[in-house]
Amino acid sequence: MEQRAAGFGTRSIKTTAKQFAIDLAIRMVDLTTLEGSDTPGKVRALASKAMRPDPADQTCPPVAAVCVYPDMVPCAKQTLGTSGVRVASVATAFPSGRAARDIKLADVKDAVDAGADEIDMVIDRGAFLSGRYLQVFEEIVAVREACARPESGGAHLKVIFETGELQTYDNLRRASWLAMMAGGHFIKTSTGKIQPAATLPVTLVMLEAVRDFREATGQMVGVKPAGGIRSSKDAIKYLVTVNEIAGPDWLDPDWFRFGASTLLNDLLMQRTKMAAGRYSGPDYFTLD
């Protein structure tokens, strides 16, 4: 598995294929800020960047979503308006998941009521690692129910495993099936708060799981690696893996996302380089 992942790293993606991959990767980014120091100002800036990642180039596509804490959802929502960029909110006592179920569900409700389009929940790793799988399963089902919003369609649910804590590929595969059977729309590697976060072999296992799940049930589930993906080169390795493991159907922001904060600027820099034929510098891209 690690060998195969390393093999994908040696695929050489050039010229038109690279242009395609970079634009696709930009459209797949969940632009994220999850800090205790987040303010409405910071979130507004991020949301503006999400809509127009490269103000100098109108052909640059917007990202998929911005990802924030629940209390920042109204602010993000207001800035993004009808741009089509979605608002994702972490919930369920993110990042540790250590709270009573009622509190987790209230956390979810809060974000959903504020208009979040997507909820990124964390599973209870303590329950999982002590073998209480049913509890984990039921919690995901309950969160999924809490995502419902009769008047305007429910929020999509992403289920975060925190693979750095689950550690083994066996656990990861089991957690993937658990989350998919409980109704998660996306399975996601990490919170970004624990190292290691997303890795290529971990993502590969999850892509195998969603591929097998579709084969068994006909339903597609998305995959979101998050944390640690910083360069265009890394992003392209992930896209190659998506293409060759799950298949081209997953090469779409509806089915694959990157949870990242710094990745976007490197993608933009590579994009400009491909168009202009020369490298520019970080000063030419916005810091938000």
Question: Residue 57: what are its φ and ψ, rounded to 5°?
Answer: -135, 105
Reply yes or no on whether 120 is catalytic. yes
Query: Measured between alpha carbons, how far is 93 from 100 in angstroms, rounded to an integer?
Result: 9
Residue 257 in the binding site for other proteins (CB under 8 A): no
Contact string 32-61 vs other proteins (x = CB under 8 A): -------------------x------xx-x
**From the CB of 262, what's the least distance to other proteins, in Å?**
23
Position of tokens 């990490």? Answer: 190
Nearer to other proteins by Cβ, of 165 and 252: the residue is 252
Contact string 59-78 vs other proteins (x = CB under 8 A): x-xx----------------
> In the 8-state DSSP scheme, what is residue 245?
I
**How is residue 17 written in tokens?**
């294929």
For other proteins, which residue of 36, 41, 84, 131 counts as binding (CB under 8 A)?
84
Say which amino acid occupies 40: P
Interaction with other proteins in 231-250: which residues (CB under 8 A)?
Answer: 239-240, 243-244, 248
Contact string 120-159 vs other proteins (x = CB under 8 A): ----------------------------------------
Question: Residue 173: what are its φ and ψ, rounded to 5°?
Answer: -65, -40
Query: Measured between alpha carbons, how far is 269 from 150 in angstroms, rounded to an integer?
Result: 42
Query: Measured between alpha carbons, how far is 109 from 107 in angstroms, rounded to an integer?
Result: 6
Nearer to other proteins by Cβ, of 63 and 269: the residue is 63
Position of tokens 């964390």? Answer: 122
Classify residue 170 by burial, with Cβ atoms within 10 Å: 0-12, 13-18, 19+.
exposed
Reply yes or no on whether 188 is catalytic. yes
**From the CB of 4, what's the least distance to other proteins, in Å?**
5
Nearer to other proteins by Cβ, of 85 and 123: the residue is 85
Reply yes or no on whether 224 is catalytic. yes
Query: Measured between alpha carbons, how far is 194 from 129 in angstroms, rounded to an integer?
Result: 16
Under 8 Å between Cβ of 170 and 128 = no
136 vs 36, 111, 181, 214, 226, CA distance in Å?
Answer: 27, 21, 12, 22, 21
Contact string 4-23 vs other proteins (x = CB under 8 A): x-----xxxxxxxxx-xx-x
Position of tokens 């039921």? Answer: 138
Nearer to other proteins by Cβ, of 104 and 271: the residue is 271
Active site residues per annotation: 120, 188, 224
Sites of contact with other proteins (CB under 8 A) = 1, 3-4, 10-18, 20-21, 23-24, 27, 51, 58-59, 61-62, 82-84, 208, 239-240, 243-244, 248, 251
